[in-house]
């Protein structure tokens, strides 16, 4: 099993540019989570989907952030326009149905740097 796949692994962009982060969850998993990790704020949930439907996006910091899940095997997190304070590591995680621990499996993350 390949695990959760995220791309790109590293992204460096300039302020004002559009950034798109991609995630492929584990096959068969029905929940997908986007997190942001920074030194100052730790690990924060941005949004999560159940069965491709956004359930809670209260963690999305601003309208500049948007997330989609067009199908069960793909999700995107878009930042437009990007700002230096968006620099962070963004994680995607997926979870299967009725697991013993309802464990979330995290991807390797995308390190975003906005100059």
Partner 1 sequence: QQQVKQSPQSLIVQKGGISIINCAYENTAFDYFPWYQQFPGKGPALLIAIRPDVSEKKEGRFTISFNKSAKQFSLHIMDSQPGDSATYFCAASYNFNKFYFGSGTKLNVKP
Residues 70 and 78: beta-carbon distance below 8 Å: no
Using CB under 8 A as the binding rule, whether residue 32 contacts partner 1 is answered as no
Using CB under 8 A as the binding rule, whether residue 12 contacts partner 1 is answered as no
User: Residue 25 CB, nearest distance to partner 1 (Å)?
Assistant: 13
Of 14-22, 70-78, 79-87, 95-103, the segment contacting partner 1 by CB under 8 A is: 95-103
Using CB under 8 A as the binding rule, whether residue 25 contacts partner 1 is answered as no
DSSP 115: -
Residues 45 and 67: beta-carbon distance below 8 Å: no
Cis peptide leading into residue 4 (ω within 30°): no
Number of neighbours of residue 56 by Cβ within 10 angstroms: 13
Q: How many residues bind partner 1 (CB under 8 A)?
A: 23
Using CB under 8 A as the binding rule, whether residue 104 contacts partner 1 is answered as yes
Residues 50 and 57: beta-carbon distance below 8 Å: no
Binding site for partner 1 (CB under 8 A): 4, 31, 33, 42-45, 48, 50, 55-56, 91, 93, 95, 101-109
């Amino acid at each position: 099993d390949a695990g959760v796949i995220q791309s790109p692994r590293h992204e460096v962009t300039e302020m004002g540019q559009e950034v798109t982060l991609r995630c492929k969850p584990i096959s068969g998993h029905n929940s997908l989570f986007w997190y942001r990790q920074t030194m100052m704020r730790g690990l924060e949930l941005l949004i999560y989907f159940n069965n491709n439907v956004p359930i809670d996006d209260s963690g999305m910091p601003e309208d500049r952030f948007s997330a989609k899940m067009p199908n069960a095997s793909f999700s995107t997190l878009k930042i437009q326009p990007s700002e230096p304070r968006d620099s962070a590591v963004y994680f995607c995680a997926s979870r299967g149905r009725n697991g013993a621990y309802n464990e979330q499996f995290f991807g390797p993350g995308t390190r975003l740097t906005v100059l």
